Amino acid sequence: MKGPVFLTGFMGTGKTKIGRLLAQRLGRVFVDTDHLIEERAGLSIPQIFATQGEAQFRQLEYQCLAEAAARPEAVIALGGGAIAQERNWAVLGLAGGVVVCLQASVDTILERVGRKEDRPLLAGLSPQEKRSKVERLLAERAPFYNRADIQFHTSDEADPETTANRLAQTLEQWHADHSPSP
């Protein structure tokens, strides 16, 4: 496989957990753009949102995505809203590789993100408000998520290792189908 593997999708779809396992499976390095953002800012993502705002976060996200995309041997987890920025799609296009959108049901997302209170876009919301916000954001981002090369559903029925192995097989097949014939 040539070029980076970009993992996109909504929060709670498994980009970090599956990404780490996928990178191991493929013998690649794992890069989480949210981690790069926190390192660069010296703040957690909730702190960036609270003190500097979403616009500053998106600027840092763009810079860190461009840095990560320069690593063709990487599996790169993007933040859930990164692909809603057209300039980020330009970075992905220049890097080559493949974009995989990890998907999960609203119930699965809510169950996964409910385990921690570190999601700035859902902070301080009641359970019903969280559901409404997740549904609205998923609908808003759907046109961007649908641009991914591969749509891949994650669920609680399969453990992360099994999911990563299935995704590796899907990627191998995608590359075989999209490689030029000799």
Q: 16-30, pLDDT tens digit by residue?
A: 999 999 999 999 999
pTM summary value: 0.91
Distance CA 126, CA 107 (A): 15
Residues whose CB is less than 8 angstroms from the CB of residue 178 and which lie 6 or more positions away in sequence, other chains included:
none
98: number of Cβ within 10 Å: 20
| pLDDT tens digits, 22-80 | 999 999 999 999 999 999 999 998 899 889 998 999 999 999 999 999 999 999 999 88
**CATH superfamily membership of 5-166:** P-loop containing nucleotide triphosphate hydrolases (3.40.50.300)
pLDDT > 80? residue 170? yes
Nearest C-alpha neighbor of 68 from the set 101, 25, 39 = 39
Domain locations along the chain: 5-166
What pLDDT sits at residue 92? Answer: 94
79-119 residue pLDDT tens = 888 999 999 999 999 998 899 999 999 999 888 887 666 67
Residue 139, classed as helix, strand or coil, is helix
SS3 98: strand
The pLDDT assigned to 118 comes to 65
pLDDT of residue 116: 64
d(CA 165, CA 71): 22
pLDDT (tens digit per residue) in 128-163 = 998 999 999 999 999 999 999 999 998 777 789 999
